Structure 1
Amino acid sequence: MTEVRTVHSADLGADELKAVRMLLDAAFEDDFAETDWDHTLGGMHALVREDGELIGHGSVVQRRLLLGGRAVRTGYVEGVAVRPDRRGQGHGAAVMTALERVVRSAYDLGALSAAEGAAGFYRARGWQLWQGRTCVLAPTGIERTPEDDGSTYVLPVGAVPDLHGVLVCDWRDGDVW
């Protein structure tokens, strides 16, 4: 039996956190840095279990993105993964359905940086490619992040923003997007 549970980071026990980290390490082939892990925590998690075993995960954390001259409360999706031997069976969609519910009910915008090869999955769910420039509000001011152009997606909750404008994320260690 497959179960999808949403839970805040604060309510995950040590064993659950360890299982999530192990899943992410396996799914990203040990290319999931400590800063990536840090970005995954502090918000709502969607956990997919089958017969009690964790097979899927994703989280949504709050960030502030600058868009059209204003700071937009954004649900930023992190750490979406399905156990490699369980992919292609709808578990990623179950994770995203739970996370999109959180985004639509609590934020003005959803955003994520799509891993290589995952863009079609997000587009099919209604996420839209940000076609303008991406930047970060760094400690020294606004800096371009051209390496993130073409991999940043948004999920409008209300009005659709100008997808050709400039999108600026808040600063954080590691990958800023």
Structure 2
Amino acid sequence: MTDVHVVHTADLDSAALTAVRALLDAAFDGDFSDEDWDHTLGGTHALAWSGDTLVGHAAVVQRRFLYEGRALRTGYVEGVAVHAGHRRGGVGAAVMAPVERVIRAAYDLGALSSSEVGIPFYEARGWQLWQGPTSALTPAGVERTEDDDGSVYVLPVAPVTLTDPLACDWRDGDVW
């Protein structure tokens, strides 16, 4: 039996934060940096527990994206992971459902950057590939992020055209 708890970062105790970080480190095979961890904090978390073991996690944090000359309040999904022993059992869907509910209720757009392995999962949940050019609002101005083209997925709440340019706000580490 898996129980899913939805909680803001501010309400996670140190034991839960340690469990989340350990799950993310394991799920990403050590390719989860301190900057990635920082991106995961400050929003709403969905945590799936099997007894006392954290088996799944997803978070949504607020960002601002520029689209057609306006700033869209964007719910950006971070830190989606399922414990290796619990994959293909619905845990990913169980943590994404409340994150998507938050996005639909509080944001103009949902967004995430997907690995190749995650694409079928997100597409099955209704996420759509952003087909237009991507950029970032850097300290030096707007800069194209060609390497991120084809990896950004969105869950539109407000109407958008998927082939238009999209720019994300600046942050340290991976901007998308």
TM range, normalised to the smaller chain? over 0.9
Q: Deviations over 1:10-64 (max 9, x none)?
A: 0000010000000000000010000000000000000000123100001000000
1:150 aligned onto 2:137: no
The residue aligned with 1:165 is 164
Matched, 1:61 2:61: yes
1:127 correspondence with 2:127: yes
Aligned amino acid, residue 175 of structure 1: D
The residue type paired with residue 130 of structure 2 is W
Cα distance in 2 for residues equivalent to 1:150 and 1:90: 26
RMSD, aligned CA: 0.7
Tell me the residue number matched to 1:174: 173
TM-score computed with the length of structure 2 as normaliser = 0.98
Q: Which residue of 1 aligns with 2:40?
A: 40
Aligned to 1:15: 15
- CA deviation after TM superposition for structure 1 residue 116, in Å: 2.5
Specify the SS of the correspondent of 2:102. Answer: helix
Deviation (angstroms), 1:150: 0.5
Give distance in 2, aligned partners of 1:3 and 1:166: 39
**Structure 1 segments of 4 or more deviating over 4 A?**
none
Give, in whole Å, the separation in 2 of the partners of 1:62 and 1:33.
Answer: 20
Structure 2: 5+ residue stretches without partners: none
State the one-letter code of the partner of 2:41: L
**Aligned residue type for 1:67:** Y
TM-score by length of 1: 0.98
Q: What is the 5 A alignment of 1:18-97?
A: 18-97=18-97
